[in-house]
Structure 1
């Protein structure tokens, strides 16, 4: 079979199995990305979640020695939640970013890529394929850009002409020498809305560079204490951040509900905050285990829930937070609870911290309690 015919059949099959966009790219070295990653490393902009060396992340032949081409796919996901519950004074709610709505996208994209690989192997038995979704060494964004899925915006997301930046990306390296697609022209122009709107200034310059150490989307996934400047910016976010996508003009009016797997359960994607504080491991797995936002476990989400309750100054949560501060075995959670109580700032909170600090043994927790006492005393006096 001629390459052009195979390529067309792959495109048609991809549409049949629910792939919204597909593109083909060479497996050449990602030279520009390599330089950007080196610069990122020098500036300490990395998140720590990256997989592989810079060479493995930019040279496809290191991952598949026979590599000739890379197939990139994109699936669109919703930007609006149907029947979203409101956060009220009686029941404050947190929020998972849109990329964590519905079933874990890693599973859905792997399913599509596996089906695509099976189809290719039927047509070309000697074909070799290697599949990656987000957690692989290759940059999904760099591959998608080269394959013509979209252009890389100043918000560091791939922006497609059809679906904006609300797309999941995955790729397949293969030994088949496909004809590469043409890249999409960058059309950010002079727009700076995402750079200006970023809560922490994590978007650096206008070259699509990200300082992950300041990005709320990454910070929500960490397990240690958040610095105070980031706690103040967190708002009610439990996982991820959509600000740079929400303000992007290319996303105006974009909202696709073409994949049932990505439809959010409102009680999961916008959960009540207070129950998050006492959820057991089993309950957490049953309620949140199927979404991508659960991959780091419950600890970061509980820490973020405490910060969100402080953001709301939710006095109805004080009793529950006091229990967490006194009894939780994890220092980060106890310390963040004390900080949260201080920010809420009731007399009950102040007195509880004052008692708890007398028996606390962890120095960092004590430090957070001292801050909490200072905040609370100022607030209620």
Structure 2
């Protein structure tokens, strides 16, 4: 006769298995996200999702995990650190001749890494409990992963809308395992942002329109990753040298002083993506792009959007003959790309003119000083 499963003890075992599989924290919550439904609807009504039609297409299912996977009683939420050693945030962002890739995308595609680990966790649960039915998700289905993570006690929702943790800041990925077992749930953490609004004030494009609310249409991550067509001109100068994503709201956050480095080799930066010269990136043909980004989250935007993003960054770079030549070499390949190249060339030529004026002004000032030094004191 088999003994009934001690669910409290089983939950502790599941959490320990999660740690052994490389997750830094495992939490459990129920599936009730009814409080999130009016917030989600208001966000959609304001069109803050931009061209991400799938956000609206699935409607309120995003807040109802039990509808996505019938029979689901609990969500096992996990987090995994991704911050690489020697991330070189400042040195890359401060050099406009280099391309800045969001730190989460420097290594292997996190979707695959986390999903494989979650599948292993589910398999281990089923070995112990044959009745267990599960389904893993990593940013790959209509699930409100951040509210679930907050409810499972992994952290609280920061004003930039990301999950923050006292011991780890926000440099981590999230994943979920939907399961049909009535496991005991964890308690949410208390929000600890206080009066801080650093993320709101530092956002280059003002995308955090109010605490906890991001207008994706203004967000550099959306503009460089999700947006398929032309980047609105008003945002191009603000993008700087960010060619894939943006980390500014995390970089400024005081809680990220406690950010933990990853020990996952899969998240180690690929050298060719870590502070690369913009002109090198703009010279890639599609075969090179596909080869370099194999197994990377970057590949999903495709070669054309990659070039579009790099063209904008070149338009924000200081004038140089090399930058101009790189832009001119790709003219005529695609109408959408041409539009961004023309904008970038206009900026480059304007900067050259500014430099010439500055040089001329400096020469005049030096000439005046020379003349003044040669004149008698009573002249």
Task: Tell me, yes or no, whether TM beats 0.5.
Answer: yes
Determine whether 1:174 maps to 2:183.
Answer: no
- The reply to whether residue 285 of structure 1 matches residue 290 of structure 2 is yes
The Cα of 1:138 is off from its aligned counterpart by 0.5
CA distance in 1, matches of 2:145, 2:327: 40
SS of corresponding position for 1:31: coil
Q: Matches of 1:275 and 1:253 in 2, distance apart?
A: 35
Q: Which residue of 2 aligns with 1:370?
A: none
Moved more, 303-312 or 69-78: 303-312
Alpha carbons 2:93, 2:241 under 8 Å: kept: no
> Which runs of structure 2 are paired with 1:1-381 in the superposition (5 Å)?
1-28=5-32, 30-49=33-52, 50-51=54-55, 52-78=57-83, 80-81=85-86, 92-206=97-211, 208-221=212-225, 222-315=227-320, 316-325=322-331, 327-328=332-333, 330-345=334-349
Question: 1:81 deviation in Å?
Answer: 2.9
Alpha-carbon deviations, 1:196-227, whole Å to 9, x = none? 11111111222x11110111111111231111
In the other structure, the counterpart of 1:366 is: none
Distance in 1 of aligned mates of 2:140 and 2:95: 39
Structure 1 position 310, deviation (Å) = 1.4
Q: Of the two, which has the highest radius of gyration?
A: 2
How far the C-alpha of 1:289 sits from its partner, in A, is: 2.3
SS of 2:287 mapped into structure 1: helix
Out of 74-83 and 241-250, give the one that drifted further: 74-83
Partner SS state of residue 136, structure 1: coil
Checking the alignment, whether the CA contact within 8 Å between 1:20 and 1:74 is kept in structure 2 is yes
Unaligned stretches of 5+ residues in structure 2:
358-379
Unmatched 5+ residue regions in structure 1?
347-374
Greater shift, 47-56 or 197-206, is seen at 47-56
Does structure 2 conserve the Cα–Cα contact (< 8 Å) formed by 1:313 and 1:343?
no
The Cα shift of 1:92 comes to 2.5
Aligned length: 349
Rounded Cα–Cα distance in structure 2 between residues aligned with 1:106 and 1:190 = 34
Cα distance in 2, alignment partners of residues 150 and 101 from structure 1? 24
- Deviation track 1:362-381 (CA, whole Å, cap 9, x = no partner) reads xxxxxxxxxxxxx8888878
Instruction: After TM superposition, give the deviation of residue 276 of structure 1 in Å.
Output: 2.1
- Please report how far the alpha carbon of residue 314 of structure 1 lies from its aligned counterpart in structure 2 after TM superposition: 3.7
| 8 Å contact from structure 2 (residues 137, 176) kept in 1 | yes
Q: 1:253 Cα shift?
A: 4.7
CA shift in 2, pair 1:337/1:146, >3 Å: same
Question: Structure 1's 220 and 88: CA in aligned 2 closer, same or farther, altered over 3 A?
Answer: closer
Corresponding position of 1:367: none
Per the TM alignment, residue 59 of structure 1 is displaced from its structure 2 partner at its CA by: 0.9
1:80-113 deviation per Cα after TM superposition (whole angstroms, max 9, x unaligned): 5357896699993201101212111101100110
Following the alignment from structure 1 to structure 2, what is the Cα–Cα distance between the partners of residues 87 and 197? 17
**CA 270–186 in structure 1, closer or farther in 2 if over 3 Å, else same:** same
Q: 1:240 to 1:319 in 2, by over 3 A?
A: same
Q: Give TM-score scaled by structure 2 length.
A: 0.86
Instruction: Decide whether the 8 Å contact of 1:95 with 1:238 is kept in 2.
Output: yes
When residues 290 and 118 of structure 1 are mapped into structure 2, their CA distance, relative to the original with a 3 A threshold, is same
